[in-house]
Amino acid sequence: MEIIKARPARLDAVVAASVALVAHYAPSLPVVLVLALAAAVLGVGEAVQRVEDAKTAEALATPTDPAPVDQADAEDDQLTFPFEISE
């Protein structure tokens, strides 16, 4: 169950692909059934989008420590061009 919470978009993609394959390889299925499955996949996609948006909002709201500045970063800030740039 944890894998579903961690990767809902992948599950939705598998379900959507499965519906398309079933519709293609089983043409004897009633059109109403295929349309109902497609509508269900769209509904699941909306739910997946909300879950992913919530995870993104949570990640953006989590404060992080700035990366430590090392000597190489300090030297990069002091780089100069060997030539002048004229405008």
Question: How far apart are the C-alpha atoms of 34 and 20, rounded to whole Å?
Answer: 9
* pLDDT exceeds cutoff 70 at 4: yes
List pLDDT tens digits, range 17-60: 998 899 899 989 999 998 999 999 999 889 889 988 998 999 88
pLDDT for 30: 92
Res 85 pLDDT > 60: yes
Tokens 């509508």 belong to 39
CA distances, 30 to each of 36, 53, 61, 75 (Å): 10, 35, 47, 68
Q: pTM for this structure?
A: 0.59
